[in-house]
Structure 1
Amino acid sequence: YFLIWGRGQLLRLVLLHTVWEMGSAQVRYSVPEESKHGTFVGRLAQDLGLEVVELVSRMFRMVSSGRRDYFEVNLQSGVLFVNSRLDREELCGQSPLCAIDLEVIVDKPLRIFHVEVEIQDINDNAPVFSVNEDNFIIAESRPPDSRFPLEGAYDADIGTNSLLTYKLSPSEHFTLDVQRKNDQSQSLVLVLKKALDREEIPEHRLLLTASDGGKPELTGSVQLVITVMDANDNAPVFDKSVYEVSLYENAPNGTLVMKLNATDLDEGINKDVFYSFNNRMSTKIKDIFSLDINTGEIRVKGNMDFESQNTYEIQVEAVDKGHSPLVGHSKVLVEVLDVNDNIPELAVTFLSLQVPEDAPPGTVVALISVSDRDSGRNGKVTCSIPPDLPFRLVSTFKNYHSLVLAEAVDRERVSEYKIVVTARDEGAPSLSASSSILVAISDVNDNAPAFPQPVYTVFVKENNPPGAHLLTVSASDPDLENALTVYSVVERSVGEQPLSSYISVHSESGHIYALQPLDYEELQVLQFQVSARDAGLPSLCGNVTVQLFVLDANDNAPAVSPAGSVRGSPGPELVPLSAGAGHVVGKIRAVDADSGYNAWLRYEVQEPGAAGPFRVGVYSGEISTRRALEEADGPSQRLVILVKDHGEPSLSATATVSLSLVESPQAVKWDSRPRGGSEGPLVDMNVSLMIAICSVSGLFVLVIVVYVGLRCHPGPEVMCGPGKATVVCASEVGSWSYSQRQSRNLCVGEGTAKNDLMVFSPNFPNSAENGEHEKLQENLPMISPNVEWSPLALLRLAFSLTSLKIGIAARQKCLELLEKGHYK
């Protein structure tokens, strides 16, 4: 029978172990209590599917559930062994299941395993009675079958090891009656089976032995000393043999538990009773409860804690006041009800002190375990964190939670998060506890240096000293450890020279310096890019465009060519004595390599008193007669012409012109060669001016045509050679700059040649008007004195050019040709 029962129990235990393993943990072991240090528990690495050689590299670690380290793992073999003494009674008390939860954590990749080690009970505690000797007083008048309750023994083990059996030493007067209510409670009663005779045996000594169900079994015993007295015939009797009452654990002192009631059938003094606790009751119960000896009221006088003990068994007695007092016995069972008086407890285990800002969602930051000593709904705990955070809680095992990254984080936006984890139970009222977790976000290089503006514009005057500071560029990088920025120039060619020969950039400060003086006549605009690179790995960079505009300085003096002659020949200029006022003698040819106002030339006689009858055009450079020549003017004149520009300070040059007054006008000839290569007569300047004035009015066009036809006559052609002039245009940056250089020589008057005058026109950006302007400049050579143009045709051309928006310069060219009378 016992063999069959043992096999059935073994099968039940195996099935229960299998179900618990599948539902409660990934790996489950069991080890007997009191195992020595080093006792083998299980091959943990093999059972978890981990390679033993990778345990160290993957940072294998094991976290116990709030207890000290009872177990350790050998990292060389992967074996789980006992580290310190295991006492199941100390760890779990009378709990039927005693297990220690372990968390196994490995990295690369991060994985968490749950291991449960069950502590098996062994029979290491013998049954213990509360006293070594128990005294009874029994009157000899007590009839057979009288019953006397006994206090049983206590065994700290559980299960079969705590299943007690009792044995009484042989006696003809007493026997032992054991009544079992359940597996945990049983009543012992000493039964009188034969009447006592004090005169025969005044005292009986019996040995009560308790044996547990362990193998080998352990025993404990108590000496029962029975004194036979000759007195009262009836003992007090309680109205209940067992009283049951429920009480909340937070009951205040003085709370009435219950009121006892016992009666005695005797008369007189033998009928009066008083109440008391059984002298064999533990001191702990006496510290919690009090009993009024007269009324039988049991009240609370100490603190009850459901989590420490949830039931109390109080042995009470009713004693009469006879000369031979008789005692009645009863038991009060107090069930303590749980109250939500324990707040949840949180324990946080950090897996990483910092979280990289490029960490993927799902990264585990910390492990959080919660517990509550209360039971039922009072001990059921929920865990939460505030919303609107890039983190979330994931329940992993029982009361364990993982704090994981829910979405991407950005250190430049939020560098750290303070997360308040709140654990709240389901009691009424609910209790909660919180713990703050500070999660720092570590920096990665995810931001390239950025400049505050896309283009830097700087104006530098030419002839700057080498090493001059031009400007400073600065880029910002919101990254923390990668914000050290290095500046450099994106190399390219400027003409035939590299960009690095013109400018340099300080790698740390971003200062841009000029390595050589800049010359506006060679370089007007220098555009380049500056790169800013951070110190990250890999590094990131950003670029910005720098536009360097070179401003003209008045560093070139006017140059007169050829020096001292208005027509290029070394001899003096011949002027007929018959020349009247306004007669053009010649023109000073001067150029200035500068631009704008620095190249705008002004002509004047250096000594106005020595000019005599001659004068020079302020801006045209034409030398003409102020009045009609006279013989008193002498045979020759010497003029010193001062040519100045409009720069600040102004630069100048002088040209000396020798004039000889001659009788014959036929002697005045030019040595210069025009493009056509043929000679022709010159038209009188006054007639040309009259024709130009008359051509403006449309009402007198026919009169002008007739008049010009009558006055014009063919003559020998004059040779005009190409000269050098400068077209100066207004710059879009507010100064003057070169737009184009063209050379024209005009032949006017008798024996007089004039250089083409300068034309000022706006320097437009690339647009339709600019295109027309360039087209006009290409076609300007067509408007030449060697082409046969009638005044009417020139007039029509001037107004047609204006209507076509080709430019004022073209119209001015045509009007000048009309004014000078260059037509056939």
Structure 2
Amino acid sequence: MSVCVRAVVRVLVLQAAWALGGGQVRYSVPEEAKGGTVVGRLAQDLGLEAGEAEARRLRLVSQGRRASVEVSGASGALVVSSRLDREELCGKSAPCALRLEVLLERPLRVFHVEVEVTDINDNAPLFPAATKNLSIAESSLPGSRFPLEGASDADIGANAQLSYTLSPSEHFALDLQRSGEYRESLFLVLTKGLDRESLAEHRLLLTASDGGRPSLTGTVELVVSVLDANDNAPQFNQSVYKVQVLESAAEGTLVARVSATDPDEGINSEITFSRSNTFPSGGLNLFELNLQSGEIRLRGPLDFEEVRFYELQIEAKDKGTPPLSGHCKVVVEVLDVNDNAPEVWVTSLSVPVAEDASLGTVVALLSVSDRDSGSNGRVRCAVWPPSPFGLVATFAGSYSLVLREALDRERVSEYEVEVRAEDGGAPPLRASRGLRVPVSDVNDNAPAFAQAVYTVLARENNAAGAELARLWARDPDEAGNGRVSYSVAEGGAGAGSGSGWRPASSYVSVDAESGRLWALQPLDYEELQVLQFEVRAVDAGEPPLCGNATVQLFVVDENDNAPALLPPAGGGPGPWAASEASASASASAPGSLWAWAAWGAPAGQVVAKIRAVDADSGYNAWLRYELWEPRGKGPFRVGLYSGEVSTARALEEADGPRQRLLIVVRDHGEPSRSATATLSVSLVEGAEAALAAAGAVSAGAGLRPAAGAEDGAAAAAATNVWLVVAICAVSSLFLLAVVLYGASRWAPRAAVLSGPGPATLVCASEVGSWSYSQRQSRSLCVADGAGKSDLMVFSPNCPPPPGPAAENGSAEKGPSLSPYSSGAVENLVDVVENVLPLEVC
């Protein structure tokens, strides 16, 4: 229980320390620590469990120079990897801190660690030279002060606090002056007057001791030569000169001018200047002193980032014998200018970025710095273009490049991002760093067809495996996410002959890769006119996405059916054979028919009507009737489109008792197909014809007596009425055709897909029909039978043929001219052919 309590308390303390420290861990390590020395338990202080540091790859981020510490992968401890020399790392700067960035992956986090390298007393005080020569006039009064060059210690703090001792002497003592603003000044003080004759040279040992434990020392031998005579030393007008110089100052710039006076006269008052010491020693060649005028000029470039202050010890010496000298200090302060551009480093880059990455995702870690100080070193950062990425400041000089807007790889697949840094100098300096951020694809686009509905035309009797069309669906995704496969999803049609509904997959198939639509079997227009089904396109993504398109397959009729003759129908308009004649016709060859005609029948009398039907459609089912035998000026003729056999002239006895007619029925297909009917017409007296017609009516054969003289006028009047009705009907159809033609010319034409090539416009002349349409149909009048559904523009609305009641009425009134006489029908056909074109596109 106590162990758990201690663990909880430890976690709370770490969290509090972490919150107070602003996310920064601090350690300290003495310099010269041996390799492998543990600086701190970094993984434990970051709150990581055992083994988690190695699993999440806890590591240091290099900052451009070799670090002297590293992270142990197994334990997660921060250890010394190479020699730590505080003086090499920081010089005289205090404190000496190494600022490190620690990267923790999965998830990505960055921590800032500060390692302070503490000083040890490993450097002894050091004088500039082992021997220092001094010349002091014997006339110097007690209390005279002579500046000495003190020792320097590379350590800092107490280890660099120096104290000086002088070997015992009755004439000399030391005076050390310390100042918080300047470096300490050491003087050799004359405590008792000198006598050159008793002792011309004094040798003193000056010892410098630092404040370390144990203390280290350095020594210099002072050789004091006692000079005679000249008893006035030059005096500077001020002991310390303070000047400021821009680090951008050009070579030859005047830095300062020192001056000194000597109250002596003559040669003892002539003064020359010299430089006795320069601190730091690197500035020795930067300044040039004019020995006569005391002008100090710049001889080399200054760098504020390297050295900010220079101290020059200037000596003024007269020309007396012995010469006397005075001393002053020139302090040169280097002023910063904006001469360093910001620097940008990419410490970590996590690419590619998924296009469905959430907002706030960290893409890269950046580090920005500027060697200048003040406003010149204050850096502002921005990212260009400003979207979809942004910068978030995580710590001083550290930024995270994060996602601010949603990505779309199909719109932009890769971003060239530029991180721009600008300091606060005048004028400001700028730097930039370019990043390439590719975007990885996710399956976020379903396949889409170019058209929602495809219209495909296929001729019947096509070969199995023939290509009908090519479908294509676009998926803007890449690789498997954009690889599309096709399949027939659903759809079908009702098959003919009462076989019921059949699925579309029994007629057509689609290639899974190319989208090629091909027929599985030959198509039969008489069995199937329209097949509607859906084609599905599915990509290979995870999860897969799909799109659908509707395909309307229209089967175009071919002239593959010959006309078929129909048996005589009871109640037909013509005088067909009686029961015994029908029996004889059935016993004879197929297509043989019988009919009677009365002697003296006038021209135009309908004798019989040939009935035929064609299983095809349109032109292929439009039948015409031709009389082959007898040719020339025979007594009979046949209506071109009605099939009615009528007298061409009055029948005479010279025509014989029987006429044999050979009638050919042809369709308008290419090539046309035909059927042949043989009609035997027996010529009898009028009474016999009436008895034959009565017998035919009683037997259901539809006999009609020959026309009388008084009924001829009624028949002619009826013919005129039907002719007027036909002309009105044709006029109405003409107006309707003109309206439809104008609408078709001004309306946008729908493109249909009829093969792998470009979409074409379907015209009537191409598909073998007058006008091919799914929505409009007309009735094709075939003889006196039931109307047939067709798609022809010209399909006159034929009234139903007269029923048995009508025929009975006609029989009671006597013979009359049928409204379907060849003259009326032929006139109607001629009008239609002259008014309406047979081919419409």
TM-score category of the 2 structures, normalised to the smaller one = 0.7 to 0.9
* Aligned mates of 1:74, 1:284 — CA distance in 2: 40
- How far, CA to CA, are the matches of 2:216 and 2:719 in structure 1? 147
CA distance in 2, matches of 1:69, 1:670: 129
Q: For 1:581, what is the secondary structure of its paired residue?
A: coil
Comparing 189-198 with 451-460, greater Cα deviation is found at 451-460
CA 284–295 in structure 1, closer or farther in 2 if over 3 Å, else same: same
Is the contact made by 2:617 and 2:791 (CA closer than 8 Å) also made in structure 1?
no
What is the aligned partner in structure 2 of residue 703 from structure 1?
none
The aligned residue for residue 613 of structure 2 is 591
Task: Please tell me the residue identity of whatever aligns with 1:605.
Answer: L
- Closer, same or farther: CA 784–133 of 1 in aligned 2, 3 Å: farther
Shift of 1:222: 1.8
Q: Deviations over 1:706-756 (max 9, x none)?
A: xxxxxxxxxxxxxxxxxxxxxxx988636999767999xxxxxxxxxx734
Residue of 610, 613, 633 corresponding to 2:655: 633
Which residue of structure 2 lines up, in the alignment, with residue 755 of structure 1?
784
Separation (CA, whole Å) in 1 of partners of 2:809 and 2:596: 31
SS of the equivalent of 1:755 reads coil
Deviation at 1:192, TM superposition (A): 1.0
Aligned to 2:689: 665
Kindly report which structure 2 residues correspond to 1:528-547, keeping only aligned pairs within 5 A, or say none: 528-547=533-552
In 1, the alpha carbon distance for the partners of 2:519 and 2:537 equals 19
Q: Deviations over 1:12-47 (max 9, x none)?
A: xxxxxx999935643222222222222112222222
Over 3 Å counting, the alpha-carbon distance change for 1:122 and 1:25 in structure 2 is: farther
Given that 2:341 and 2:431 are in contact with CA atoms closer than 8 Å, whether structure 1 keeps it comes out as yes
**Partners of 2:19 and 2:614 in 1: CA distance:** 102
Cα distance, 1:431 vs structure 2: 1.6
1:566 and 1:589 in contact (8 A); partners too: no
Measured in 1, the distance between the counterparts of 2:75 and 2:182 equals 43
Does the Cα contact within 8 Å between 1:70 and 1:82 map onto a contact in 2?
yes
Instruction: Using the TM superposition, give the Cα deviation of residue 655 of structure 1 relative to its aligned residue in structure 2, in angstroms.
Output: 1.0
Are 1:570 and 2:584 counterparts? Answer: yes
1:63 to 42, 61, 64: 61
Counterpart in the other structure of 1:7: none
Matched with 1:329 is 327
**Secondary structure of residue in 2 paired with 1:385:** strand
Counterpart in the other structure of 1:193: 191
- 1:270 is matched with 268
The aligned counterpart of 1:809 is none
Structure 1 residues 26-175: aligned runs within 5 Å: 26-175=24-173
- Residues 739, 293 of structure 1: alpha-carbon distance in 2 compared, 3 angstrom cutoff: same
* Partner Cα distance (1:62, 1:202) in 2: 66
* Equivalent in the alignment of 2:566: 561
What secondary structure sits across from 2:637 in the alignment?
strand
Determine the C-alpha separation between the residues in 2 that align with 1:672 and 1:734.
43
Shift of 1:195: 1.4
Q: 1:788 to 1:172 in 2, by over 3 A?
A: farther
> Does the CA-based 8 Å contact 1:92-1:98 persist in structure 2?
yes
Q: What is residue 242 of structure 1 aligned with on the other side?
A: 240
Gaps of 5+ in 1: 1-17, 699-728, 744-753, 765-772, 792-811, 813-824
* Matching residue of 1:724: none
Is the CA contact (8 Å cut-off) linking 2:252 and 2:298 kept in structure 1? yes
TM-superposed CA distance for 1:55, in Å, is 3.6
Residue 150 of structure 2 aligns to which amino acid in structure 1?
G
Between the two proteins, the alignment pairs up a number of residues equal to 724
CA 1:504 to 1:43, structure 2 compared with 1: closer, same or farther past 3 Å? same
> In structure 1, what is the equivalent of residue 513 of structure 2?
508
Relative to structure 1, is the Cα distance of residues 632 and 278 closer, same or farther in structure 2, using a 3 angstrom cutoff?
A: same
Measure the CA separation in 2 of the matches of 1:268 and 1:286: 33
One-letter identity of the residue aligned with 2:678: T
How far did 1:445 drift?
Answer: 2.3
**Is the alpha carbon distance of 1:99 and 1:22 closer, same or farther for their aligned partners in structure 2, counting shifts above 3 Å?**
farther
Residues 493, 613 of structure 1: alpha-carbon distance in 2 compared, 3 angstrom cutoff: same
Give TM-score, length-normalised by structure 1.
Answer: 0.80
How far apart in 1 are the matches of 2:456 and 2:116? Answer: 81
Instruction: Please show how residues 602-681 of structure 1 align to structure 2 within 5 Å.
Output: 602-609=624-631, 612-663=634-685, 664-669=688-693
Rounded to whole Å, the distance in 1 between the matches of 2:80 and 2:391 is: 33
Q: Give yes or no for contact 2:776–2:791 (8 Å, CA) kept in 1.
A: no
Are residues 340 and 738 of structure 1, via their aligned partners in 2, closer, same or farther at CA, if it must alter by over 3 Å?
closer
Structure 1 residue matching 2:597: 3-state secondary structure: strand
2:207 corresponding residue in structure 1: 209
Work out whether 1:490 is the aligned partner of 2:508. Answer: no
Paired residue for 2:217?
A: 219
Q: Which amino acid aligns with 1:255?
A: T
Question: What amino acid does structure 2 have at the position aligned with 1:156?
Answer: A
Following superposition, the deviation at residue 650 of structure 1 comes to 0.9
In 2: Cα distance, 1:37 partner to 1:101 partner: 19
Contact 1:502 1:514 in 2 (8 A): yes
* Cα-to-partner distance string for 1:354-403 (whole Å, 9 max, x where unaligned): 22222222122222212111111111111122354311111111111111
**1:570 alignment partner AA:** S
1:485 maps to amino acid: V
Q: What secondary structure, in the 3-state scheme, does the structure 2 residue paired with 1:570 have?
A: helix
Letter in 2 for 1:33: E
1:757-776 pair list within 5 angstroms: none
Between the aligned partners of 2:34 and 2:555, the Cα distance in structure 1 is 91
Q: CA deviation at 1:311?
A: 0.8
Q: Does 1:517 align with 2:522?
A: yes
Q: Which range moved further: 602-611 or 404-413?
A: 602-611
Q: In the alignment, which residue of structure 2 is the partner of 1:689?
A: 715
Report how far residue 213 of structure 1 moved.
2.2
- Which residue number in structure 2 is paired with residue 733 of structure 1? 772
Q: Distance in 1 between matches of 2:363 and 2:131?
A: 62
1:361 alignment partner AA: L
Give 1:580's match in structure 2, choosing from 599, 602, 620.
602
CA RMSD of the aligned region, Å?
3.6
Distance 1:321 1:337 in 2: 38
* Cα deviation code 1:165-193 (max 9, x no counterpart): 22222222111111110186211111111
Deviates more, 1:594-603 or 1:318-327: 318-327
Question: Paired residue for 1:818?
Answer: none
Q: Which amino acid aligns with 1:733?
A: Y
Task: Say whether the 8 Å CA contact 1:558–1:644 is kept in structure 2.
Answer: yes
- CA deviation digits over 1:745-779, x for unaligned, max 9? xxxxxxxxx73486888789xxxxxxxx9xx99xx
Q: Distance in 2 between matches of 1:103 and 1:733?
A: 79
| Structure 1 Cα separation of the partners of residues 296 and 268 of structure 2 | 24
Distance, in Å, in 1 between the alignment partners of 2:418 and 2:336 is 29
Pick aligned residue for 1:401 from 373, 393, 399: 399
TM-score (norm 2): 0.79
1:642, CA displacement in angstroms? 0.4
Deviation (angstroms), 1:334: 1.2
Quick one: distance in 2 between partners of 1:647 and 1:117?
A: 101
Partner deviation per Cα, 1:622-664 (whole Å, 9 max, x = no partner) = 2222233222222222111101011111110101112222331
Residue 413 of structure 2 aligns with which residue? 415
Whole-angstrom CA distance in 2 between matches of 1:284 and 1:593: 115
Q: How many Å separate the matches in 1 of 2:477 and 2:553?
A: 31
2:377 equivalent in structure 1:
379
**CA apart distance, 1:555:** 0.8
Deviation of the 1:412 alpha carbon? 2.0
Bigger shift: residues 432-441 or 606-615: 606-615
Is contact 2:780–2:790 with CA below 8 Å preserved after alignment? no
1:329: how far off? 1.6
**C-alpha contact (below 8 Å) 2:784/2:801 kept by paired residues:** no
Tell me the distance in 2 between the aligned counterparts of 1:629 and 1:782. 27
**Corresponding residue for residue 733 of structure 2:** none
Cα 1:444–1:760, aligned 2, differ >3 Å: closer, same or farther? closer
Higher relative contact order (CA 8 A, sep 6+): 2
